[in-house]
């Protein structure tokens, strides 16, 4: 077992517990069993990387964890909630307050600027536009954005810049669970590290948990643990390689 990252002296809490989770797409001859019995426990305050070959079920699993997709079977508790026991309205509300999702395909809104896109979780919550955009701007600044980039539409940003907007949007409302699908795939080494440092600082808060899907070995060292997935199951959980000094834990950012 990895040494718990908890420095509060409190025993680490389980934030996510999956037992035998299954999910099949389609029916009959066209059925694809994407999850074949996922068992996984993730502690609060943990940054877990999820790695595995294309098609093994990573996006499906994090979609189930984020309440974006129903499971077919098994048990899954996320921050002490079970989506299958909640109404669609309760799930939407819970997601809006507690979950940030970075999609593999960014999913930015073309007509909104970078800062407005990043601010959408706050706008949905009813925050005034200026306050929401200011808060989003502060997160984007930490990700290397200047004022001009913040005012740009997604079409005028590079793939890496769009990816950072998607990451800012997942963090801006300070959710307790952030799930990221390949968050550094379009980023160079420096930007990738910047993103992971920010996500890591976020995970330092003992109430938070991060699940990051990646193939990017450059970011393995930022993980508390690495879960290997194959053919719809978690097959191994490993400790990350030794962390380089620049990736070591820092005190939480002032908020």
Buried b (16+ CB within 10 A) or exposed e, 110-143: eebbbbbbbbbbbbeeebeeeebbebbbebbebb
Residue 29 binds ligand ATP (CB under 6 A)? no
Residue 32 binds ligand ATP (CB under 6 A)? yes
Residue 163 binds ligand ATP (CB under 6 A)? no
Q: Which stretch binds ligand ATP (CB under 6 A): 24-32, 84-92, 112-120, 147-155?
A: 24-32
**Within 13 A of 255's CA, how many CA atoms are on the CB side?**
13
Shortest spacing between CB 192 and ligand ATP, in angstroms: 17
Listing DSSP states for 123-189 in one string gives HHTT--HHHHHHHHHHHHHHTT--HHHHTS-GGGS-HHHHHHHHHHHHHTT--SEEEEESTTTT--H
Residue 67 binds which entry of Mg ion, ligand ATP, none, CB below 5-8 Å type-dependent:
none
**Residues interacting with Mg ion, by CB under 5 A?**
59
Per CB under 6 A, contacts with ligand ATP among 48-67 are 52, 54-60
For the chain, state the CA radius of gyration.
18
Count the site residues for ligand ATP by CB under 6 A.
12
Residue 26 binds which entry of Mg ion, ligand ATP, none, CB below 5-8 Å type-dependent:
ligand ATP
17 pairs with which residues across the strands? 41, 77
Residues 83, 43: Cα–Cα separation, whole Å:
19
Of 150 and 227, the one with the shorter C-beta distance to ligand ATP is 227
Of 25 and 80, the one with the shorter C-beta distance to ligand ATP is 25
**Within 13 A of 170's CA, how many CA atoms are on the CB side?**
29
Of 186 and 204, the one with the shorter C-beta distance to ligand ATP is 186
How many Å from the N-terminal Cα to the C-terminal Cα in the chain?
A: 32
Residue 241 binds ligand ATP (CB under 6 A)? no
Shortest spacing between CB 1 and ligand ATP, in angstroms: 26
Of 182 and 224, the one with the shorter C-beta distance to ligand ATP is 182
Q: In the set 19, 25, 128, 129, which binds ligand ATP (CB under 6 A)? A: 25
Chain positions contacting ligand ATP, by CB under 6 A: 25-26, 32, 34, 52, 54-60
């Amino acid at each position: 077992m990895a040494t718990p990252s908890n420095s509060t002296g409190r025993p680490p809490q389980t934030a996510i517990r999956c037992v035998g989770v299954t999910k099949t797409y389609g029916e009959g001859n066209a059925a694809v069993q994407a999850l074949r019995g996922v068992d996984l426990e993730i502690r609060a305050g943990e940054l877990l990387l999820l790695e595995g070959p294309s098609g093994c079920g990573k996006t499906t699993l994090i979609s189930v964890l984020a309440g974006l997709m129903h499971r077919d079977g098994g048990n899954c508790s996320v921050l002490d909630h079970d989506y299958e026991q909640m109404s669609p309205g309760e799930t939407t509300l819970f997601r809006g307050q507690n979950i940030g999702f970075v999609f593999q395909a960014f999913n930015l809104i073309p007509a909104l600027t970078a800062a407005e896109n990043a601010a959408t979780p706050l706008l949905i919550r009813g925050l005034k536009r200026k306050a929401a955009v200011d808060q989003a701007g502060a997160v984007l600044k930490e990700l290397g954005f200047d004022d001009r980039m913040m005012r740009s539409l997604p079409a005028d940003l590079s793939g890496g810049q769009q990816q950072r907007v998607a990451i800012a949007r997942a963090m801006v409302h300070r959710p307790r669970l952030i799930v990221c699908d390949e968050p550094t795939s379009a980023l160079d080494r420096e930007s990738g590290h910047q993103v992971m440092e920010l996500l890591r600082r976020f995970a330092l808060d003992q109430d938070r948990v991060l699940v990051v899907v990646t193939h990017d070995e450059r970011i393995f060292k930022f993980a508390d643990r690495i879960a290997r997935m194959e053919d719809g199951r978690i097959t191994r959980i490993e400790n990350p390689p030794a962390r380089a000094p620049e990736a070591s834990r820092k005190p939480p950012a002032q908020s």
